[in-house]
Amino acid sequence: MNLVERVGLFALHRVDPERAHRLALTAMKAGVVPLPGTFTSPRIACHVAGLDLANPVGLAAGYDKNAEVVDALTQAGFGFVEVGAITPRPQPGNPKPRMFRLSEDRAVINRFGFNNDGMDAAFARLTKRNRKTRVPVGLNLGANKDSADRAGDYVQVLERCGPVVDFVTVNVSSPNTEKLRDLQGAEALRALLSGVMDARQGMDKIIPVFLKIAPDLTEAEVAEIAQVAQEVKLDAIIATNTTLDREDLKSASQNEKGGLSGAPLFEKSTRTLARLAKLTGGHLPLVGVGGISSPEDAYAKIKAGAHAIQLYSALAYQGLSLVDDIARGLDRMLAADGHDHISTAIGTETENWL
């Protein structure tokens, strides 16, 4: 982390976290944030779920909810970027305050509730993005809080915005929209994903469809999801979203309602990832998310069964330079372990997490 980034983070941590995030996006729009470009090498360049990635380090949804700074993010070191979540209609989300720093725990709690400008605004912005970049851009699909047909909402956003992105993620795992996680049940999930996959087949451009799941699932529920994902021929699963767990936290805001992300989520999310890797036998691409704050954390996810990884909360504490640090660190650690390519490291320690 350079001095400019260190000073910037210090200043941002002096204000409300949601306002700080808004200021960070404004600075990125203004072009005052140093962007190193994307590090790659023959060892970490990979093909995941139909996407060619210069490196396996992605940005998780939630950072750029409304696709406002897509071009800047594709120059920030990521191998792929996911924006959103986006719902059919704009919605304000939950009342403020709704984001809390847990600095002692290197964590964040949020209860945003899918606040976003809606699919038409997202479509307009994504249409204008630089299509020459080699960094794939995906969209996290959400459902409106007051929707009478939440499964239909996912299809609506896919049909509207799918033509201007490289992949989409069905988000049924946010804890901040009431009863949304009920869609992770086998019967409801099968119906939802079947509808999304059918809609994709009717599009001019067939794009990969991912599913993002919660870490707060039983082993039986994870097994059901793995089975359904393979039945409908899903392209990848993202494991995981935020948790409702509050075990062993120290910070004053630990009991705030919402989803917990950051360092405390690492072990729980990685166990879910490893269970999926075991159940799918490495045949279904997996994206590891949750608590990654170093190259070592990212490598552990890869060895647990991830084909790629995503970051978000750690950026609030370590800045965007973390992205390049992780990509270069993965390259070094793979070489040190004798791997000529990341693919030979995937899942080598799955059993250690079960």
3-state DSSP assignment of residue 331: helix
Distance CA 261, CA 17 (A): 14
Distance CA 249, CA 45 (A): 37
Distance CA 170, CA 165 (A): 14
- What is the Cα gyration radius of the chain? 19
41 in active site: no
Residue 108's identity, in one-letter code, is V
Bridge partner residues of 100 (DSSP): 109
Q: What is the 3-state secondary structure (H, E, C) of 22-80?
A: HHHHHHHHHCCCCCCCCCCCCCCCEEECCEEECCCEEECCCCCCCCCCHHHHCCCCCCE
Contacts of 254 (CB under 8 A, 6+ apart): 102, 105, 109, 246
3-state DSSP assignment of residue 335: helix
User: Both tokens of residue 131?
Assistant: 């299509």
Distance CA 141, CA 212 (A): 10
- Please identify which of the residues 41, 103, 173, 174 carries the catalytic annotation: 174
Distance CA 165, CA 54 (A): 17
**Residue 184 CA: distances (Å) to CA of 118, 174, 266, 274, 336:** 23, 11, 21, 18, 39
Considering only CA atoms, which of 14, 40, 10, 21 is closest in space to residue 327?
A: 40
Kindly list the catalytic residues. Answer: 174
